[in-house]
Structure 1
Amino acid sequence: MTDPVRLLIVDDHPVVRDGLRGMFAGDPGFEVVGEAADGAEALTMAARHHPDVVLMDLRMPGMDGVTAIGRLVAADSPAKVLVLTTYDTDADVLPAIEAGATGYLLKDAPRDELVRAVRAAARGESVLAPSVAGRLMGRLRTPRQPAEEPLSQRELEVLTLVARGSSNREAAARLFISEATVKTHLLHVYAKLGVNDRAAAVAVAYDRGLLTPGGR
């Protein structure tokens, strides 16, 4: 008899986690080994329970899903990450896939489709929601436009730390500069990338190739 797929559920909404746990707990082909409410907790739980598949939300307080995916890959975790989220914009899809996600589904996916996707992810197969596959194909056909104004070395250093989950204060300490200087650098980054906040800056930077999982 084949061993059940060991599953870690990561979502900041308890109701969603409860629903997913109930869905998979009733199937002998799966074993829910843990739950996490954010990316940092997901990393801890993955190291402790060694899941085969991590069912990962993206937009969560604290460490987001993309950062957690990148860190799992950097740590050589054998777990496959299947993104399960509400969002299918370029700013969500592309960074998640580039960070190392095996698949990407939306939360309105039918139960049978989700079950098949988790099994496929456990085998290392990529599963993409139709709208996500369409976006990726469209991006492959459309050459990326370079940034109008390049980021400075210091701005890239600040953005790299932000992408890894550092606060302004932590980034300042790492770079031996003031917190006010970090904020100034971020404002310049926002202006150059045409965004208004940290999350969007990181997403656009991944999209343009300014940042890469595990480095810059």
Structure 2
Amino acid sequence: MKTTLSLVCVFASALMLSVVPALGQFSLDEIEASVGKLSDEMGRVDALLGDTDPNKRLAAMDMLIKSGNADYATRAREVGLFSSDKQMQRRALAAVFDAGGPFRFDIPLTGVAEDATRIRAYIKNWNTGVLRDNESVGQFLLYTAPFDEGKQCWTYKTSSSCAVTPTGEQYVFTDGSSFVGSFKLMPDATLAGEGSYRGNKTVSFVVNLVE
């Protein structure tokens, strides 16, 4: 009986191994067709986002972000972040914050005096705060909820306090009590700014939006 069961198991395993690779195989013709189709689709997306009429490209950005297609939405956000069009930048950044993050704040600490900034102590207070690279960089993660029309800000995902508030090209970041800073979108699609903990000396920080 044991011998029969063993043979059945071996046969079943061999059958599965022979079927699984076949399910994942694609011919060159199928690969070329799929790649060509995807390339054509993304080319059309890029054409919409690059329309010479600013109203059309803004409308395209909004619709692509809300399309439900992750590839279209990602391309629209990235094009907007790198665009020189300020309205596209704002729309893209709004979509990024609406998505919730996480957003990693990197704070260079080399040469930063702790007694003047208290920033290392502040970073350690964050649940996600860490000091890395021999404490030369501090970092923490921010998660946001979709834009609150009533408060005109993006609140923290876990509370109703404002985390990020748009003020023109500048955005104010606050933890609600002890840290206040501001940042703006840079040409390389990073957020760069400065802030201070409890009124101490300011420190700089960077948030990479496209890794």
TM-score range, shorter chain: under 0.3
Q: Which has the higher contact order (CA 8 A, sep 6+)?
A: 1
Of Structure 1 and Structure 2, which has the larger fraction of its residues in strand? 2
Who wins on radius of gyration, i.e. which is larger? 2
TM-score (normalised: structure 2): 0.23
